[in-house]
Copies of this chain bind each other. A is one copy, B any other.
């Protein structure tokens, strides 16, 4: 260690910005260290995506009906402690850190000097100066929080919501254990890739000794401004989502009510995450017309087949002059449509992922041995009850969807995402304290 006088930190970079934090509506404690420039200009739904700030505290957690940011990092952790108090302490620490991070702060106050004392810094520092970037942090609870291997580790088994079911095995599932499941869930979304990962990394570090990373995954979404984004298959994705601008739709399909078995979940939601690898090389060689039959939509306009505009209604009854359905029987848009699923809807908030390439040896003709993209979709869907939402919808899709020729579900998880926290309280307080 050098014994020279360390240079003083730049005040410009690390001024306390309590005023700005209050202005952003977050009930933060004192000592918020964050780039002044970011906080001073930060505002909700800023025209500048780097300066956008989303609230952390509230009736619902952010990151569910929040307009989708351009990047995400999702992660699941497994609890390694046997002590209920450790879990509560972790959730308190996560809540406080997430509140700071979402408002453009560091996970904890940085040391006063530039050259540190002999402690590890409370924040990795890689997001310094990047701005809040609309960061949201959303936490969820997996089945393992309530009971694991038949053991009620934290006295919570009786409070497990009936809606937090273990997902069934779906037709074609090829799940990889280390990309599946998890006791705790963190979803960070932001308009910058490093900001999203930075948040999860600090939170995972706060969990050392209490919970360990099970899987983590970066995702992205490149939307033409104000339009429905296209996924890596080149089709617009999310056209038929229920409108987040309609509270009655959100209350019906997304937000959990106050069920007798889990009153603490009121205002929360249930989230399903699936890692869906897509064989892009194979897909790219398909005829354009066939691709459109698979989706049931035109590729460039996004219109349902036979229609002109993206938001034209999907008419599942329409037939061509030979009496065949215009929207094919096994097309994705038909099978996933509300009308095919007893009126069920789920709120999809998915991201593409791109983990480079891997070398694969295929076990079927023509026995290719080649480098293939490890890319696809981090499917994320929120719903008031998976038993009427994702599960029946995906059971139908897994059996009949023509798209299955090009997709493989390799990761899967389900979480109860509790309601938002009040300032001074913490995420999940209702589960532990009422």
Give residues in A with beta carbon < 8 Å to B. Answer: 1-4, 6-7, 9-10, 13-14, 35, 50, 73, 75, 110-111, 114-121, 124-131, 178, 192-195, 197, 201, 205, 212-218, 220, 222, 224-225, 227, 230-235, 280-281, 283-293, 298-301, 303, 305-308, 320-322, 326, 352-359, 370-375
A-B contact pairs, 24 of them (CB 8 A): A1-B290, A4-B326, A6-B298, A7-B298, A7-B306, A10-B301, A73-B354, A114-B301, A116-B287, A116-B288, A117-B287, A118-B289, A121-B299, A126-B233, A129-B224, A130-B222, A130-B224, A193-B220, A193-B354, A201-B373, A215-B356, A216-B356, A218-B354, A218-B356
Q: Are B306 and A124 in contact (CB under 8 A)?
A: no
Chain B residue numbers with a CB within 8 Å of A300 are: 9-10, 13-14, 110, 114, 125, 128
Which residue among A14, A231, A305 has the maximum number of chain B CB atoms within 10 Å of its CB?
A: A305
Which residue among A7, A35, A290, A306 has the maximum number of chain B CB atoms within 10 Å of its CB?
A: A7
Q: Which of B7, B14, B111, B125 contacts A308, CB < 8 Å?
A: B7
- State the Cβ distance, A171 to closest chain B Cβ, in Å: 26
In whole angstroms, what is the CA distance A205 to B286 when docked? Answer: 12
- State the Cβ distance, A99 to closest chain B Cβ, in Å: 21
In whole angstroms, what is the CA distance A285 to B121 when docked? Answer: 8
In whole angstroms, what is the CA distance A302 to B225 when docked? Answer: 36
Chain B residue numbers with a CB within 8 Å of A235 are: 125
Q: Are A215 and B4 in contact (CB under 8 A)?
A: no
Q: Are B286 and A120 in contact (CB under 8 A)?
A: yes
In whole angstroms, what is the CA distance A312 to B213 when docked? Answer: 40
Instruction: Using known A-B contacts A2-B305, A299-B121, A356-B355, determine if residue A116 contacts B218 with beta carbons closer than 8 Å.
Output: no
In whole angstroms, what is the CA distance A371 to B280 when docked? Answer: 27
Chain B residue numbers with a CB within 8 Å of A357 are: 75, 178, 213, 215-217
Q: Are A195 and B178 in contact (CB under 8 A)?
A: no
Instruction: Using known A-B contacts A124-B234, A326-B2, determine if residue A371 contacts B212 with beta carbons closer than 8 Å.
Output: yes
- State the Cβ distance, A383 to closest chain B Cβ, in Å: 25
Chain B residue numbers with a CB within 8 Å of A116 are: 287-289, 291-292, 299
Q: Which of B193, B201, B286, B371 contacts A222, CB < 8 Å?
A: B193
Chain B residue numbers with a CB within 8 Å of A3 are: 320-322
Which residue among A121, A281, A288 has the maximum number of chain B CB atoms within 10 Å of its CB?
A: A288
In whole angstroms, what is the CA distance A281 to B115 when docked? Answer: 21
Which residue of B has the minimal Cβ distance to A131?
B224
Instruction: Using known A-B contacts A9-B300, A125-B230, determine if residue A194 contacts B178 with beta carbons closer than 8 Å.
Output: no
Which residue of B has the minimal Cβ distance to A117?
B289
Chain B residue numbers with a CB within 8 Å of A227 are: 129
In whole angstroms, what is the CA distance A83 to B116 when docked? Answer: 60
Which residue of B has the minimal Cβ distance to A357?
B216
Instruction: Using known A-B contacts A9-B300, A355-B355, determine if residue A119 contacts B284 with beta carbons closer than 8 Å.
Output: no
In whole angstroms, what is the CA distance A213 to B217 when docked? Answer: 23
Q: Which of B118, B225, B230, B293 contacts A126, CB < 8 Å?
A: B230
- State the Cβ distance, A280 to closest chain B Cβ, in Å: 7
Q: Are A119 and B287 in contact (CB under 8 A)?
A: yes
Chain B residue numbers with a CB within 8 Å of A375 are: 197
The 7 closest A-B pairs by CB, nearest first: A116-B288, A125-B234, A129-B224, A194-B222, A178-B359, A355-B355, A216-B357
Which residue of B has the minimal Cβ distance to A308?
B7
Which residue of B has the minimal Cβ distance to A358?
B178
Q: Are B216 and A288 in contact (CB under 8 A)?
A: no
Q: Are A120 and B298 in contact (CB under 8 A)?
A: no
